[in-house]
A and B are shown apart, each in its own frame.
Chain A
Amino acid sequence: MVRKKKWVSSFTVFALAAVLIAGCSSSNKSSESSSPSASATPSATTSASPSDSPSASPSGQPKDGGTLTISTFTDMVSVNPIFINDTASGDLDALIFAKLYDLDRNANLAAEPWSIAAELPQVAADNMTYSIKLKQNAKWSDGQPITANDVKFTFDTIRNPDVGSPAISTLDKIDSITVKDDYTLDIKLKQVYAPFPYSLFISIVPAHVLKDIPPKELKNSKFGVDPAQTVSSGPWKWSEWTQGQHFTIEKNPNYWGEKKPHIDKIIYKIYADQNTEVQALMKGDVQMTEAIPLTQIEAVKKQDGLNVILAPGPQYEYVQFNFKDENFPDKYSPFKGQKTRQAIAYALNRQGMVDNVLKGSGGLMNSPFLPGSWADPGDKAVNYNYDSEKAKQLLAEDGWKPGKDGILVKDGHRFSFELQYNSGNSRREQVSQIIQQNLKDVGIEATPKGMDFATWIDQNITPGKFPAILLGWSLTNPDPDAESIFSSKYFPPAGQNSGWYVNKELDDLWVKGQQTVDKTERAKIYQEIGEKISIDLPYVFLYQYGLPQAVNSSKVKWAEDDRPESSLAYGYLFHAINWWVE
């Protein structure tokens, strides 16, 4: 009997460990990709960013051949463009699939030499029909031509609700698609929808490979997980995947584009964590790392040949308030007063966070639009400078009075709340502590609580049940439309306005922004939104941040025009087709 107990206890320990691990950890991956967004914010102009980007090598001429090894800390999931929803798979997609349209450095839709479309779409006078012309020489990696049928199939599949594609919301405004001939098609919308051009920035899938799979089974197909069965269309093709270790791509022998890639082979090596990645970069095992921890920037810079690109990227972080009383222990949301929210914005030392935590990889944000983009309201948005006196004054004006323990009280409610964030993200951990301290200085008790990502999303974010959160949005689409985040049409669980924020005036402006096609007019609307939202503050916008990219610049080369563009989603691979390795 003695031994039976032994293994029972061994098992119990194991099972408990399993549950503990499942219940309390969150990978870096979750923290970084925590918030892919169906929303859209232009990352337009390359705004003067504090970057010391590796200079191009003016002396060098592009060279063919060689291998580029890139490190990442998450494995890919599936490269089937219909289901892509994680960074590693997105990287692979960017290299092996040709997109219908691409983006230029200023985040404008572009028909590049490597895009499937031959020219920019023709938009009808009613702004509801887009005519698209394809290149006639584009081919799949199995040699079949890429036709208008492939484009129609891709769009129809994504917008079919049975498929469960995460991209459905970008295409659900389509009414019908008409194939006019092999290389021309018309897309008709149900309504005027100004962000639509960015829905055309999309990878196309091969109809001849996928058309016979029932929609519900698509996610289970081998396409996207088996290199041999993943027919693609980009400069490189996927050749190998060893799960958890590496995936490799090689030049596509059937590549149709006039410009061919210089680099023969690109290997993505998967590391267990970011620190291990940095070691490998320093040792020379890899030549490029897509994101290095902020704490390691100095060490990497010191090493000969290594450069760090420190530009802010298409993502921002914020504190979101909950306006629904029942989400608080005493059934009272302390955030309802506009002055109270403004006071919190004044109380937070945002510049200090940028300087000390982000170490130059970020900049202040005052609205949901990236600084320097065409929708950016600039100075029209209120910039809340760190001013705790002003904060205290505003809190007093809103009726908060110091309680016995120094914490403010109003109508018998203490100003105390839980600030949730996802554990495992060291940046958010640090920032949450700064927030706690800053708020304590003005008499507000914020208790930071790190949570496992999956649990958090399931129990708090999706149902909109939390007092306040510290989170970020990654803007995968350069359009500024963010109706689904801020409009009262999109309350949980059906929408992403998880703080239950209501502002009818803004609700209308978001719709107006979607229905105005003229870019100058649209810009005015978003600037107005930016201004109003910075006053009303459903969020305190903290900062735009970037993922510092490290490059071994003695090995990886590009011309100035082809340098990585941090402000774009997957911009760290911008124009990789033109890069070369020494």
Chain B
Amino acid sequence: MTEYLIRRLLQSVLVLFLITILTFALIHAAPGGPTQIFLAPGLSPEAGKVQAHNLGLDQPVYVQYGKWIGGLLKGDLGHTFKNNIPVGDILWPRIKNTVVLMAAAWLLSLIIAIPWGIYNSTREYGISDHASNFVSYLGFAMPTFWFGILLQQWFALKWDLLPLSDMYDMDKQGDFGNLMLHLVLPVTVLSLGFLAGYVKYSRSSMLEVLGQDYIRTARAKGLKEGKVVFRHALRNALIPIITILGLDLPILVGGATLTESVFNWPGMGRLFVEMANAREYSVLMSITLVVSVIVILGNLLADILYAVVDPRVQYGRGGGSA
């Protein structure tokens, strides 16, 4: 296992390096640059050339990449072109804000979805099962921004029960209770989206396991249904769910652009769009890097949890995946 982990981590570093090269090339291949945004028509083109030169944007892409990666190795993510603000100063608060929002929604939906799915698997086509189907369809079909606006109309504008948008009231920055109030609506919207998938996954995964021979054997032995479900079936049913969770991990950092926009949540999703429009190469590179790292770690974590949950899974030299 240790050897496996080391191998995986080394591979990851190599892959991350390749990702940065690819992303850098792709971002620079997009037409228009930071100075175009800075200049806009009507302003002297010379000023743009001078700025491009002062910022090093007139150098070949590989030189710019070399500078960027050199900075990265020293822990410097670079600066914005527009106003020379360190990328980290922009990035970390946004990541934090997104994690607060997404983790709340994710955990809430897990807490509801997994038990609900399990319950539904034992009572197929019951009322609860139909209800969860309805919620799933709603979650999948309803555009989140539209649902968000609906909630805002009722709970914030019409009844004035909850804040309309933002993370905090202007005069209550950092206040935990205030944050909780602001979380209610966006978390509701986002968890509905997550919930829709997780209920389905856990139900079907559980059903599959419950249909297997060893469960039948267990039942035939006369074990109580609760014991069959929780002791014998659950562990195996969790494996595919863990995979999904691992793969969803990047969403926690990447943010949900539309929901963040509707609720004016200062997170990563919005940042990415803003920075793409502004052609802020360093910020875009850093976001890609962070998300890539999370993707890799999420996969690794899913693999490890696999082994923990299911002892049949073994990693080692020559060992395949489950």
A interface list, Cβ under 8 A from B: 1-3, 6-7, 10-11, 14-15, 18-19, 21-23, 25-27, 29-30, 33-39, 69, 75, 77-78, 85, 161-166, 168-169, 216-217, 219-221, 224-225, 242-246, 267, 269, 271-273, 276, 279-280, 282-283, 285, 452-459, 461-462, 471, 473, 485, 493-496, 498
> Would A462 and B85 be within 8 Å (CB), given that A1-B321, A10-B247 are in contact?
no
B138 at the interface (CB under 8 A from A): no
B42 at the interface (CB under 8 A from A): yes
Given pairs A225-B85, A459-B31, 6 additional interface contacts (CB within 8 A): A3-B303, A11-B292, A15-B288, A18-B288, A27-B277, A269-B170
Bound Cα distance A39, B43 (Å): 9
Per-residue contact bits, chain B 1-31, to A (CB 8 Å; 1 contact, 0 not): 0000000000000000001001100110111
**B321 engages A2 (CB within 8 Å):** yes
Q: List the A side residues contacting B47 at CB < 8 Å.
A: 164-166, 168
B203 at the interface (CB under 8 A from A): no
30 A-B interface contacts by CB (under 8 A): A1-B321, A7-B298, A18-B23, A18-B27, A21-B276, A22-B279, A27-B274, A78-B82, A161-B46, A162-B50, A165-B47, A166-B44, A169-B44, A219-B51, A219-B55, A221-B84, A243-B89, A244-B266, A246-B170, A269-B166, A271-B264, A279-B156, A279-B165, A283-B157, A453-B37, A455-B31, A455-B32, A457-B32, A457-B36, A458-B36
Q: List the B side residues contacting A21 at CB < 8 Å.
A: 272-273, 276
Bound Cα distance A454, B167 (Å): 31
Per-residue contact bits, chain B 226-238, to A (CB 8 Å; 1 contact, 0 not): 0000000000000
**B27 engages A36 (CB within 8 Å):** no
**A462 engages B36 (CB within 8 Å):** yes
Q: List the B side residues contacting A39 at CB < 8 Å.
A: 42
**A168 engages B45 (CB within 8 Å):** no
Chain B interface residue count, CB cutoff 8 Å, equals 72
Bound Cα distance A225, B261 (Å): 25
**B32 engages A454 (CB within 8 Å):** yes
B197 CB to closest chain A CB, in angstroms?
Answer: 16
Q: List the B side residues contacting A285 at CB < 8 Å.
A: 164-166
B271 at the interface (CB under 8 A from A): yes
Interface centre among B19, B46, B167, B170 (most CB of A within 10 A): B170
Q: List the A side residues contacting B164 at CB < 8 Å.
A: 279-280, 283, 285
Q: Number of contacts between A and B (CB, 8 Å)?
A: 207
Q: List the B side residues contacting A23 at CB < 8 Å.
A: 30-31
Residue of A nearest to B302 (CB): A3
B75 at the interface (CB under 8 A from A): no
B interface list, Cβ under 8 A from A: 19, 22-23, 26-27, 29-33, 36-48, 50-51, 54-55, 79, 82-85, 89-90, 93-94, 152, 156-157, 164-167, 170, 247, 250, 254, 260-262, 264, 266, 270-274, 276-277, 279, 284, 288, 291-292, 295-296, 298-299, 302-303, 320-321
**A272 engages B32 (CB within 8 Å):** no
Bound Cα distance A6, B15 (Å): 13
**A283 engages B31 (CB within 8 Å):** no
Bound Cα distance A531, B282 (Å): 49
B55 CB to closest chain A CB, in angstroms?
Answer: 8
Bound Cα distance A245, B94 (Å): 10
**A22 engages B276 (CB within 8 Å):** yes
Q: Which one, A164, A169, A221, contacts B54 given CB within 8 A?
A: A164
**A282 engages B157 (CB within 8 Å):** yes
> Would A276 and B261 be within 8 Å (CB), given that A454-B33, A455-B31 are in contact?
yes
**B26 engages A33 (CB within 8 Å):** no
Residue of B nearest to A19 (CB): B26
Q: List the A side residues contacting B32 at CB < 8 Å.
A: 452-459
Q: List the B side residues contacting A452 at CB < 8 Å.
A: 32, 277
Q: List the A side residues contacting B89 at CB < 8 Å.
A: 243
Bound Cα distance A35, B39 (Å): 9
**B50 engages A164 (CB within 8 Å):** yes
**A243 engages B85 (CB within 8 Å):** yes
Q: List the B side residues contacting A37 at CB < 8 Å.
A: 42
Interface centre among A473, A495, A496 (most CB of B within 10 A): A496
Interface centre among B27, B79, B84, B299 (most CB of A within 10 A): B84
Q: List the A side residues contacting B29 at CB < 8 Å.
A: 19
Q: Which one, B41, B262, B276, contacts A25 given CB within 8 A?
A: B276
Q: Which one, B41, B157, B279, B299, contacts A462 given CB within 8 A?
A: B41
Q: List the B side residues contacting A7 at CB < 8 Å.
A: 295-296, 298-299
Residue of B nearest to A8 (CB): B15
Bound Cα distance A295, B135 (Å): 33
Q: List the A side residues contacting B19 at CB < 8 Å.
A: 11, 15
**B170 engages A69 (CB within 8 Å):** yes
**B276 engages A18 (CB within 8 Å):** yes
Bound Cα distance A33, B38 (Å): 11
Bound Cα distance A11, B94 (Å): 21
Bound Cα distance A453, B40 (Å): 9
Interface centre among B22, B47, B254, B273 (most CB of A within 10 A): B47
**A454 engages B41 (CB within 8 Å):** no
**A22 engages B30 (CB within 8 Å):** yes
Bound Cα distance A458, B34 (Å): 10
**A276 engages B264 (CB within 8 Å):** yes
Bound Cα distance A161, B53 (Å): 12
B217 CB to closest chain A CB, in angstroms?
Answer: 30
**A19 engages B261 (CB within 8 Å):** no
Q: List the A side residues contacting B31 at CB < 8 Å.
A: 23, 454-455, 458-459
A483 CB to closest chain B CB, in angstroms?
Answer: 13
Q: Which one, A19, A454, A459, A461, contacts B277 given CB within 8 A?
A: A454
B31 CB to closest chain A CB, in angstroms?
Answer: 4
B262 CB to closest chain A CB, in angstroms?
Answer: 7
B283 CB to closest chain A CB, in angstroms?
Answer: 11
**A35 engages B40 (CB within 8 Å):** yes
Residue of A nearest to B167 (CB): A245
> Would A15 and B23 be within 8 Å (CB), given that A219-B51, A244-B271, A455-B30 are in contact?
yes
**B288 engages A458 (CB within 8 Å):** no
Q: List the A side residues contacting B27 at CB < 8 Å.
A: 18-19, 22
Bound Cα distance A225, B298 (Å): 36
Q: List the B side residues contacting A221 at CB < 8 Å.
A: 84
Interface centre among B42, B84, B170 (most CB of A within 10 A): B42
A320 CB to closest chain B CB, in angstroms?
Answer: 11
B215 CB to closest chain A CB, in angstroms?
Answer: 26
> Would A38 and B42 be within 8 Å (CB), given that A25-B276, A273-B261, A279-B152 are in contact?
yes
Q: List the B side residues contacting A245 at CB < 8 Å.
A: 166-167, 266
Bound Cα distance A224, B84 (Å): 10
**A77 engages B82 (CB within 8 Å):** yes
Q: Which one, A33, A38, A455, contacts B44 given CB within 8 A?
A: A38
B161 CB to closest chain A CB, in angstroms?
Answer: 12
Q: List the B side residues contacting A498 at CB < 8 Å.
A: 41
> Would A6 and B247 be within 8 Å (CB), given that A164-B47, A225-B83 are in contact?
yes
> Would A10 and B295 be within 8 Å (CB), given that A18-B26, A78-B82, A458-B31 are in contact?
yes
**A85 engages B39 (CB within 8 Å):** yes
**B40 engages A473 (CB within 8 Å):** no
Bound Cα distance A18, B93 (Å): 21
Bound Cα distance A85, B35 (Å): 12
Bound Cα distance A224, B298 (Å): 40
Task: List the 4 closest pairs (A to B, CB-CB), nearest first.
Answer: A454-B32, A164-B50, A272-B261, A458-B32
**A33 engages B264 (CB within 8 Å):** no
Bound Cα distance A134, B29 (Å): 51
